[in-house]
Structures are given as structure tokens and as C-alpha cells.
Structure 1
Amino acid sequence: MRNLFLCIVLALFYSCKEDVLPKPKAYLSLSYPEKKYENLKAKRPYSFQVLQNTTIVDAQNNWLTLEYPKLKASLSITYRPVKNNLRELLMEAEKLVFKHTSKAEQIIPKDFINKEKRVFGSLFQITGNAASHLQFHITDSTNHFIKGSLYFYAKPNYDSILPAVNYIKRDILHLIETFSWKEESH
């Protein structure tokens, strides 16, 4: 019994010699590939530059999906011809943005106008644990209307996916800046 007591005291004495230091804060280090863009190869009434390492899924009615397999995300792009219904298309697009208000902390709009190319649109950044964090629409105001929505294949956790959202946001801004309408319609 005495030996057991002695062993415990010695163990406590020797174990307490090292100072306990708090661990430094660790920061998540994510690396993304360098951005290289190319012109959209799909035949559409519109064109823009797309990131080379995305997968383009062609769909009917001039719709597209740009997939980011490594980020587990996709950008859905829908096209609708304008037939005296621009107001309804704009209201529908904004309704889909504000559908996220119950989960969103903030919705930040940014407007784009390029009169020379007849490209008019808005980008909405949705902060918080919403299902879609970036949405946009583009129109020429007379014939064409595009809507885009970014989705991740994961439960929304804004803090975790924010670096990926910012990475893809730069691609969407590039898409909008290089966007143009083709002369032929649908």
C-alpha cells in the first residue's frame, strides 16, 4: 500500500513539471486552382467566359449548369425569352432571392449596367445559412433574360463555405463582365 502511495505521489510530482501552454489558433488553409477562363462553347443566344476547371452540363431551353466538382457546388443558369413579360421575370427572380430571408442574415444587392453590350443585371449575395448564397439575373430588357443561382451539395453552414462562396463569386462577376448577347435569337 505504501509503495502504491509513493508511486502516485512521484507520478504527480513528475507530471506537474511541464508548463501547460495554450495551443495557438489554427486557421483553415484552403487552396484553389489558379483561375483560367475560356469562352463558353455551348451554342446559346448569349456568351460569356467560364472557368476552365468547371464542368458544363448542357440542358434544354438554353439552360446550363456549371459544376464545381471539387467544391461540391453548382451554378444553375436558366434562360427565358422576354415576351412583354420583363416585369414578371424580374419579380420572379427577386422573389426567389428573397425566399431565403428566413435563413439569411443579410441580402446584399449589386447592380450592373453595360449599355454598350445591352447587359443589365443584379447580383445578390445572401449571407447566413441560406440554401443559395449567390443569385443573379441579366437581361437586355427587350428579348432575353438569364437567372443564375449558386448551390452547394451540403447542409448550409455559411462560415464553413464562405471561402468557396467568395471563390465562385469572382467567377460570377467575371461571367457578368464578359457577358454578351448574340444577334440570333433562341
Structure 2
Amino acid sequence: MNCKSAVVLFLFGFLLVSCEDENVMPKPKAMLRLEYPMAKEAELNVGELTFNYNEQAKPVIKNKNAIIIDYPGMKGAIFITYKKIDDNLKNLITDAEKLSLEHMKKADKIEPRTFINEDNKVYGTYFQIIGDAASQSQFYLTDSINHFVTGSVYFYRKPNYDSILPAADYLQSDMRTIMETLRWSSEE
């Protein structure tokens, strides 16, 4: 037997002996635990709208008709758009519903919920979108006479519903706060 064969045989024997049958246990599956701070509300008044938002977010006012409630730490945002009704309420509602239903291509399910706040004269629909869609929730609100508002949750990354679910739930809760506290700044 030559020297190379002896070394190879020695290494093979060493590996064979060192690989004793140990009770190898698989690691348990772990769930990522994401915790977000409790929401502290602040009031925002822009153009015809007044509503509460989460102080953890940064409001970016593009103009009096376009507001972004930005969550830089979550890489997400709530986009809010205001439009004045000009005998076009039916078209505005149709467009808002169509926008939500466009997500059906990627979503597993869309759950619409009617929203009514008689005290503030705010009526509309909230859409929860379940699945790998670009937006996880949307809404439209109106007083049926003068004001129309749409809102959408978006993340600045490719949607993966399972991964963003905790952040999506957090933003959806903040979106519902916006809806529940929305007031029209002027009544005509």
C-alpha cells in the first residue's frame, strides 16, 4: 500500500468513526414575532378632511387632495385621496370599487364591509384584501353630497402575504382609525 492510499484510508476510517450515531433532533419551527408600539393618535387637518392618525407614522402632504401616511420602519404607507363630488358620485364609487376588485387577480379573497358614521355623515365601504395582492386594504368614504375620499394600504416591496401580515394588520387598524375619526372640515 502506498502512502497516498494509507492517508485516504486513514481519513475515511477517521470520518467513519467520528460520525457516531447521535440523537440528532431537528430544530423546532419558530414563528417570527413582530411587535409594534401601541398607536398614539394625533389629529391631522388637511383641506376638507380632519382625521386621527398614528403618531408612529409620518404624514406627507402632497397637496390638499393627496396625503400619504408613511410608515418608514415598515416600508409601507396609507395613501389617501380627496375628491370633490360634482354630480359624479356614482362614477367615483364605481372607480373605487373597480380599483379594489382589480386586486382579485392576485388576491385569495376580498371582503367588503359597509361603513356608516351617522354623527359625522361619513358613509362608505372598507375592503380587506387577503392574499398576495399589491394592497391589503382599501376604502372609500363619502357624505354623498360634497366629499369623496379613497384610501389604500401599500408596502414598498413585492407582496408576500404571510411575511407582511403583522405589518398589514397594524396598518389596517390605523386605516380603520382614520375611517372612524374622519370628519369633513366644511359642510356646504
TM-score (norm 2): 0.90
Root mean square deviation, CA, Å:
1.6
Q: Which residue of 2 aligns with 1:99?
A: 102
Task: Tell me how far 1:130 sits from its aligned partner.
Answer: 1.2
Matches within 5 A, 1:165-184: 165-183=168-186
Q: Which residue of 1 aligns with 2:69?
A: 66
- 1:118-138 per-residue CA deviation (whole Å, 9 max, x = no partner) reads 111111111121111111011
Instruction: Supply the distance in 2 between the matched residues of 1:25 and 1:89 (Cα, whole angstroms).
Output: 47
- Could you say what secondary structure the match of 1:87 adopts? helix
Indicate the percent of aligned positions where both proteins have the same amino acid: 41
Change (3 A) 1:74 1:3: closer
- Could you say what secondary structure the match of 2:63 adopts? coil
Matches within 5 A, 1:1-186: 1-2=5-6, 4-40=8-44, 42-183=45-186
Q: Which has the larger radius of gyration?
A: 2
Instruction: Supply the distance in 2 between the matched residues of 1:93 and 1:85 (Cα, whole angstroms).
Output: 12
Mark the runs of 5 or more structure 1 residues left unpaired by the alignment: none
Moved more, 15-24 or 136-145: 15-24
State the one-letter code of the partner of 2:83: R
Task: Tell me how far 1:100 sits from its aligned partner.
Answer: 1.2
- Could you say what secondary structure the match of 2:46 adopts? coil
Aligned residues: 184
Mark the runs of 5 or more structure 2 residues left unpaired by the alignment: none
TM-score (norm 1): 0.91
Task: Tell me how far 1:158 sits from its aligned partner.
Answer: 1.2
